[in-house]
């Protein structure tokens, strides 16, 4: 893999993992299994090991969870709530212990006591007690900031309002809020029975989602009606510790009246840890709650402090994940689901089968290539795997030799009949009708009004979903035809709030060209690319003229013979890139632009937006001359006086290019506290490095 390919792959992984983090931690609606998520993070880690200088500021290896959703009050954690590194084999567990010994400068045969306990699949929660009284409960959120769920946590019977015994003045207990398997089944049955329309009844996918959705309710009465439980597994900020070992502190927490696992063991070698892992794995299906592995922690607290942490995980702990559970059944149908980003995902409809105590009727087939690899057809007997208690996956076709017609993957979107295309080098097939496709509309609307796009204040996801559901907002154009009377006719809308939203919408009728391009949600067109396109063409008319001209290139007669076809595609891609004409555009991005504007439905929606009174503003270059004009600047580390976006905007106003990574083309690096690999690479390349204060002086002197 080339460096450019690695950088592109890391960018894709960062965006994809961030999206799945939001779906899992914020929306409580995961789309992939834990195993598939782990595969993405392991791929990211592998590339970062091979190309350490390409580690991104937004790398998943530096992130924990996802930012809070917004409907609950935010709360900053006194100590960061970290994630855990994962292991999937005995060799990785042995290497974990070896790393601990190396870091502590111990001999290979030195005894290191380690606790082992089940990893409950729930929602992380911290409980802050002051003088033994519960004063705050918070979700993990992104590890730094969580959501205040104190009223809801008070309804959970396992969480004491007051701790018993001799408790330190401040003690923050951390653990998992979960729901038992039986209570989960009963809750779904009750929700189904209470629904006026059974087809529209709210049903949770698994106990973890049910627990998360129940704890993060606005109304504590709803939480009270849900059978939630709690297990402690650690602690955060404390004024004093009752013991000098992990196991000793956990015994103290239990003595204060907070439940801990019954299966915590203490071991001094890999053999003991693996034996405990096998013991817990053997009774996994019979436990009353879901677990997905075993967590190991160095027992001595002084060693924990010495070991410290990496970006998002402690060095003294490890999660040893369980392998997926498997079963065999019949594939009865293959349906195509369209995701919120347009991805067409084939779903296997299965003859019901029990896997690990859960009845499974659906499994993912991932994509067209996976169907071809497996050779599956309707009627085949298949082996499935349940990984992470989300949607299972098909592993193997057990009847490949039986005569049945091959499955043909659709070339049209089943939701909107737009073309479904596969980009060159991609495995996924996507709907090109992003602005009109029903499966994508809510996500597209949310993106359209988002902070980095049109940034319409007061039009959040809750309002968008409600307006969409009621037929008031089906496409971006509907935003600009919204009337105050439409809002006043709805519950909880008053004169002031309705007028404020209308004013906020009207204020965005002449958006900057780059923000408008970004708002359209064109695949691969992010902030930097949208800004480059806006600077290159400066007006919508000039940009549209370019698009129409390049589309003509795409429609040239194409040879269909091996080497000649390859050469033709190379020539056409080069022509497309040269015609688009910005330094950050490659064939992948250029062709994504063309896919978008070649789809007639998208052009109709853009025309409707303009007809509703929107006119993107032309770009006016106002570059101040400065010592950095024409140079490439990279910002790294934590900036204190500026946000990263503001710093980049300053650089661009001074005629500089703000880049994300350090390379031989970089002229200047502005480094704040915590600067890491980029600062190191700048030193290796002999690139000038200044601090934030020096940067601010450059800005001030440029006027």
Residue 581 pLDDT > 80, yes or no?
Answer: no
Structure tokens at 584: 């950050």
The answer on pLDDT for 584 being more than 60 is: no
d(CA 152, CA 219): 8
Please give the structure tokens belonging to residue 4: 């450019």
Q: Does residue 541 fall inside a structural domain?
A: yes
Beta strand ranges found along 409-494 (DSSP E): 420-422, 429-431
Known active-site residue 119: yes
232 and 219, same structural domain?
yes
Least confident residue range of 216-220, 233-237, 488-492, 648-652: 648-652
String of DSSP letters for 566-579: HHHHHHHHHHHHHH
Query: Among the listed ranges 272-276, 581-585, 637-641, which one has the minimum average pLDDT value?
Result: 581-585
More confident residue, 393 or 261: 261
**Residues 56, 110: one domain?**
no
285 falls within a domain:
yes
The pLDDT value recorded for residue 600 is 85
Question: What CATH number did the domain enclosing 667 receive?
Answer: 3.40.50.10190
Does residue 532 form part of some domain?
Answer: yes
Query: Which is more confidently placed, 376 or 578?
Result: 376
CA distance 677 to 689: 13
Q: What is the pLDDT of residue 3?
A: 75
Closest CA to 113 of 340, 297, 322: 297
pLDDT digits (tens, 9 = 90+) for 76-108: 999 989 889 999 899 999 999 999 999 999 998
| Domain limits for position 651 | 632-701
What is the chain's mean pLDDT, rounded? 85
Last residue of a domain, one of 394, 410, 430: 430
pLDDT at residue 171 in the model: 97
**Residue bearing the bigger pLDDT, 609 or 364:** 609
User: Residue 389 has what pLDDT?
Assistant: 47
Tell me the angle at which helices 587-598 and 540-554 cross, rounded to the nearest 10 degrees. 100
CATH of the domain at 373: 2.40.50.140
pLDDT > 90: percent of the chain: 41
Q: Please indicate, yes or no, whether residues 284 and 162 belong to a single structural domain of this protein.
A: yes
Instruction: Kindly state whether residues 303 and 185 are assigned to the same domain.
Output: yes
Confidence band, pLDDT 50/70/90 cuts, at residue 517: very high
The residue count of the chain comes to 703
Residues 313, 336, single domain; the answer is no
Note whether 288 and 164 are same-domain residues: yes
- Residue 435 domain flag: no
| Residue 356, pLDDT score | 62
Span 461-484, pLDDT tens digits = 888 888 988 888 988 999 999 999
Same domain, 454 and 418: no
Count CB neighbours of 23 within 10 A. 17
Number of structural domains found in the chain: 5
Residue 68 has pLDDT above 70, yes or no: no
Phi, psi of 337 (to 5 degrees): -105, 140
**Is it the case that residue 313 has pLDDT exceeding 60?**
yes
> What is the C-alpha to C-alpha distance for residues 103 and 30, in angstroms, rounded to an integer?
36
Considering 62, 119, 483, 574, which one is annotated as catalytic? 119
Asked whether residue 183 is domain-assigned, the answer is yes
Specify if 76 maps to a domain: no
Give the pTM: 0.50
- How do strand 688-690 and strand 668-671 relate by DSSP bridges? parallel
User: Which pLDDT value is given to residue 191?
Assistant: 85
Specify whether 138 is located in the same domain as 284: yes
Residues in CB range of 564: below 8 A, 6 or more apart: none
Q: Could you write out the DSSP letters of every residue in 265-316?
A: EEESSHHHHHHHHHHHHHTGGGSSS-EEEEEEEESBHHHHHHH-B-SSSBTT
Q: Could you tell me if residue 620 is inside a domain?
A: no
Nearest residue to 661 (alpha-carbon basis) of 632, 692, 693: 632
> Under DSSP, is residue 330 helix (H, G, I), strand (E, B) or coil?
strand
- Summarised one tens digit per residue, pLDDT across range 164-214 is 999 999 999 999 999 998 899 899 888 888 877 666 667 787 788 889 889
Q: Which residues contact 379 (CB under 8 A, 6 or more apart)?
A: 330, 331, 332, 399, 402, 404
CA separation for the pair 4, 12 (Å, rounded): 12
- DSSP of 380-427: -EEEEEE-TTSS-EEEEES-TTS--PPP---SB-TTT--BEEE-TT-S
Residues 385, 464 share a domain: no
For 534-577, what is each residue's pLDDT tens digit? 877 889 998 888 888 777 766 655 545 556 655 655 665 565 55
Residues 581 and 675 in one domain: no
- Average pLDDT score over residue span 631-653: 81
**What does the pLDDT average to over 271-291?**
90
Question: Residues 400, 310: one domain?
Answer: no
CATH number of the domain enclosing 556: 1.10.150.20
Residues 562, 687 within the same domain: no
Question: Which two tokens mark 87?
Answer: 């292991």
Q: Assess contact for 209 and 389: CB atoms under 8 A.
A: no
Residue 233 within a domain: yes
> Average pLDDT in the 145-153 region?
92
The predicted structure's pLDDT at residue 27: 56
pLDDT of residue 66: 47
- pLDDT category at 580 given cuts 50, 70, 90 is low
What percentage of residues in the chain have a pLDDT greater than 70?
A: 87
* The pLDDT value given to residue 424: 67
Residue pair 656/662 in contact (Cβ under 8 Å)? The answer is no
Beta strand residue intervals within 435-562, DSSP E: none
pLDDT of residue 169: 96
Query: Mean pLDDT, to the nearest integer, of 580-592?
Result: 66
CATH number at residue 54: 1.10.287.610
């Amino acid at each position: 893999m080339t460096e450019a390919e690695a950088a592109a792959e890391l960018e894709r992984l960062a965006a994809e993992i961030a999206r799945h983090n939001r779906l899992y931690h914020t929306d409580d609606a995961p789309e992939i299994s834990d195993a598939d998520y782990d595969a993405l993070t392991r791929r990211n880690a592998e590339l970062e090991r091979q190309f350490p200088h390409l580690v991104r500021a937004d790398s998943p290896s530096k992130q924990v969870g996802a930012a809070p959703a917004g409907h609950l009050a935010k709360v900053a954690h006194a100590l960061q709530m970290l994630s855990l590194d994962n292991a999937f084999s005995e060799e990785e567990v042995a290497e974990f212990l070896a790393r601990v010994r190396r870091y502590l400068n111990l001999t290979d045969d030195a005894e290191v006591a380690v606790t082992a306990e089940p990893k409950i699949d729930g929602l992380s929660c911290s409980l802050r007690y002051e003088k033994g009284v519960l004063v705050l409960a918070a979700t993990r959120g992104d590890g730094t900031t969580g959501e205040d769920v104190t009223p809801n946590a008070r309804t959970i019977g396992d969480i004491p309002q007051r701790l018993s015994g001799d408790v330190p003045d401040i003690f923050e207990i951390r653990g998992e809020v979960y729901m038992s398997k039986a209570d989960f089944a009963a809750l779904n049955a009750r929700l189904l029975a209470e629904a006026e329309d059974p087809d529209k009844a709210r049903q949770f996918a698994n106990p973890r989602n049910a627990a998360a959705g129940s704890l993060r309710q606005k109304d504590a009465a709803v939480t009270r009606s849900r059978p939630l439980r709690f297990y402690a597994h650690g602690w955060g900020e404390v004024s004093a510790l009752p013991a000098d070992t992990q196991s000793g502190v956990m015994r103290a927490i239990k003595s204060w009246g907070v439940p801990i696992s019954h299966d915590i063991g203490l071991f001094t070698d890999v053999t003991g840890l693996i034996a405990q892992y096998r013991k817990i794995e053997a009774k996994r299906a019979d436990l009353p709650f879901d677990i997905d592995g075993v967590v190991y922690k160095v027992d001595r607290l002084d060693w924990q402090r010495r070991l410290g942490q990496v970006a998002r995980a402690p060095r003294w702990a490890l999660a040893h994940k369980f392998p997926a559970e498997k079963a065999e059944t019949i594939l009865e149908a293959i349906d195509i689901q369209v995701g919120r980003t347009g991805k067409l995902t084939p779903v296997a409809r299965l003859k019901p089968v029990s896997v690990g105590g859960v009845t499974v009727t659906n499994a993912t087939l991932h994509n067209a290539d996976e169907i071809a690899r497996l050779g599956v057809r309707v009627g085949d007997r298949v082996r499935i795997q349940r990984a992470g208690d989300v949607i299972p996956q098909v592993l193997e076709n057990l009847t490949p030799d039986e005569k049945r017609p091959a499955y043909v993957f659709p070339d049209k979107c089943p939701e909107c009949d737009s073309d479904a295309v596969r980009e060159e080098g991609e495995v996924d097939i996507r709907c090109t009708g992003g602005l009109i496709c029903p499966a994508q509309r809510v996500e597209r609307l949310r993106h359209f009004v988002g902070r980095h796009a049109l940034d319409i204040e007061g039009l959040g996801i809750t309002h968008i979903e409600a307006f969409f559901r009621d037929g008031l907002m089906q496409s971006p154009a509907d935003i600009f035809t919204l009337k105050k009377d439409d809002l006043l006719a709805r519950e909880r809308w008053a004169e002031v709030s309705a007028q404020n939203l209308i004013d906020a919408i009207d204020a965005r009728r002449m958006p900057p060209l780059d923000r408008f391009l970004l708002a359209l949600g064109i695949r691969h067109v992010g902030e930097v690319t949208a800004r480059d396109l806006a600077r290159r063409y400066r007006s919508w008319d000039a940009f549209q003229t370019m698009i129409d001209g390049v589309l003509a290139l795409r429609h040239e007669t194409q040879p269909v013979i091996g080497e000649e076809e390859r050469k033709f595609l190379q020539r056409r891609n080069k022509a497309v890139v040269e015609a688009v004409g910005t330094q950050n555009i490659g064939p992948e991005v250029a062709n994504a632009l063309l896919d978008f504007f070649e789809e007639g439905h998208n052009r109709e929606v853009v025309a409707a937006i303009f007809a509703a009174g929107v006119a993107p503003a032309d770009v006016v270059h106002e570059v101040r001359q400065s010592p950095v004009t024409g140079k490439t600047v990279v910002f790294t580390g934590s900036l204190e006086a500026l946000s990263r976006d503001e710093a980049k905007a300053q650089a661009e106003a001074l005629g500089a290019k703000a880049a994300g990574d350090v390379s031989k083309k970089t002229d200047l690096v502005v480094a704040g506290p915590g600067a890491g690999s980029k600062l190191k690479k700048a030193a290796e390349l002999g690139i000038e490095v200044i601090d934030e204060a020096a940067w601010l002086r450059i800005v001030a002197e440029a006027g």
